[in-house]
Chains A and B, each alone.
Chain A
Amino acid sequence: MNSVDQDLRPVIVPLDATARSAAILPVVRAMLELFQAPACIVPLDPKAATLALLSEKLPELAALTISDCGKPAADPAQAIIHAAQERNGRGIIMALHADPSSGSGLEAFNETVLREMHCPILLIPPEERLAEWRLRRVVLPHDGSPEVGRAIRPAVRLAERAKATLLVLHVSGAGPPPEQPGSLVTPRYIDQPQHEWPAWAAEFLERVAALCGKPVEVPMRMFVARGEPGREVVRFTREHQGDLVVLPWHCHLEHPHALTLRTILHDPPCPLVMLPADRNSETS
Chain B
Amino acid sequence: MDRTYEIAPIPFSPTADPEWRIEESGFNLAREHEIESLFAIANGYAGSRGSLVEGSPLSDPATYIAGVFDTGPSASVPELAAAPDWMHIEVWVDGRAFRLEKVDCLYHRRVLDLRQGLLWREFAYRPETGGMIRSSGFRIASLADRHVLLQSMLVQPEDHFTRLGLRLITAPAPDRPGRVRLAPELCGALPEVIDNAPQVIELCTRHSGIRVAMATAGRLWVDGVPQRPMIERSRERLVEAWELDIEPGRTYRLDRIVVIFTSRDHPRPVQAALRHLETLEGQDFGTLVEAHVQAFERRWDTADVVVEGDGDAQRAIRFAIYHLISAANPEDERVSIGARALTGGAYKGHVFWDTEIFMLPVYLLTHSPSARALLMYRWHTLPAARDKARQLGFKGALYAWESADTGEETTPPHALALDGRLIRILNGEQEQHIAADVAYAVRQYWEATGDDEFMLEAGAEILIETARFWASRGRLEADGRYHIRTVIGPDEYHESVDDNAYTNGMAQWNLESAAEAVARLAHRWPARWQELARRLGVAEDEPAGWRDVAGRLYSGFDPATHLFEQFAGYFDLEDIDLSAYGSNPLPMDVLLGAERVRKSQVIKQADVLMLIYLLWDRFPPEVREANFRYYEPRTGHGSSLSPAIHAALAARLGDLTTALRYFRQAATIDLADNMGNAAGGVHAAALGGLWQAVIFGFAGMRLRPEGLAFLPHCPPDWTRLEFPVLWRGTELRVHIRPGSIHIMAVAGTTPVPIQVADAPAICLAAGESRTWVETGGIWQEASS
Contact = CB atoms under 8 A, between A and B. Distances in A.
Interface of A: 144, 146, 149, 172-173, 177, 181-203, 206-207, 210-211, 213, 222-226, 282-284
B7 interface: no
A223 B418 contact: yes
A187 B677 CA distance: 6
Contacts of B638: 189-190
Contacts of B679: 184, 199, 203
A181 B677 contact: no
B590 A190 contact: yes
A203 B680 contact: yes
A225 B339 CA distance: 27
Contacts of A207: 30, 33, 58
Contacts of B680: 199, 203
18 contacts: A173-B586, A183-B30, A186-B676, A187-B677, A189-B587, A189-B640, A189-B669, A192-B427, A194-B415, A194-B423, A195-B350, A199-B345, A200-B677, A210-B57, A210-B58, A223-B420, A284-B29, A284-B101
A121 to B, nearest CB: 26
Nearest to A209: B57
Contacts of A283: 26-28
Contacts of B26: 283
A283 B402 CA distance: 39
Given A193-B423, A195-B346, A210 B417 contact: no
Contacts of A223: 418-420
B676 A187 contact: yes
Contact of B346 (A199, A224, A225): A199
Given A185-B676, A202-B177, A191 B30 contact: no
Interface of B: 26-31, 33, 56-58, 101, 105, 177-178, 339, 345-348, 350, 352, 402, 411-412, 414-420, 423, 425, 427, 492, 584-587, 589-591, 593, 637-642, 669, 674-677, 679-680, 683
Contacts of A185: 585, 676
Nearest to B401: A192
Given A203-B680, A211-B29, A283-B27, A187 B587 contact: yes
A170 to B, nearest CB: 8
B400 to A, nearest CB: 13
Given A194-B415, A222-B418, A223-B418, A186 B586 contact: yes
B492 to A, nearest CB: 8
Contact of A187 (B415, B427, B675): B675
B536 to A, nearest CB: 33
Contact of A196 (B30, B33, B350, B677): B677
B339 A191 contact: yes
Contacts of A203: 33, 677, 679-680
B419 A195 contact: no
Nearest to A213: B57
A207 B56 CA distance: 12
Contacts, number: 141
B202 to A, nearest CB: 29
A225 to B, nearest CB: 7
Nearest to B347: A195
Given A191-B641, A194-B415, A198-B178, 17 more contacts: A172-B590, A173-B591, A181-B30, A182-B30, A187-B587, A187-B677, A188-B675, A188-B676, A189-B637, A189-B677, A194-B423, A195-B346, A195-B348, A199-B345, A199-B677, A203-B33, A222-B418
Contacts of B677: 187, 189, 196, 199-200, 203
A201 B418 contact: yes
A262 B416 CA distance: 32
Contacts of B56: 210
B676 A190 contact: no
A14 to B, nearest CB: 37
Contacts of B105: 284
A85 B276 CA distance: 69
A143 B262 CA distance: 44
A141 to B, nearest CB: 14
A188 B587 contact: yes
Contacts of B352: 192
Nearest to B591: A173
A151 to B, nearest CB: 13
A173 B680 CA distance: 23
A182 B346 CA distance: 18
A199 B33 CA distance: 12
A258 to B, nearest CB: 22
Contacts of A194: 411-412, 414-415, 423, 425, 427
A186 B420 CA distance: 16
A172 B499 CA distance: 35
B590 to A, nearest CB: 6
A210 B32 CA distance: 11
A226 B639 contact: no
A283 B138 CA distance: 24
A146 B28 contact: yes
A183 B418 CA distance: 19
Nearest to A189: B640
Contacts of A196: 346, 677
Contacts of A183: 30, 676
Contacts of B683: 189, 191
Contact of B415 (A189, A193, A222, A225): A193
A183 B417 CA distance: 21
A191 B401 CA distance: 13
A207 B58 CA distance: 7
A43 B425 CA distance: 60
B670 to A, nearest CB: 11
A191 B584 contact: no
A206 B59 CA distance: 10
A189 B675 contact: yes
B591 A226 contact: yes
A23 B753 CA distance: 87
Nearest to A145: B30
A166 B650 CA distance: 47
A210 B59 CA distance: 9
B30 A188 contact: no
Contacts of B418: 197, 201, 222-224
A11 to B, nearest CB: 29
A181 B423 contact: no
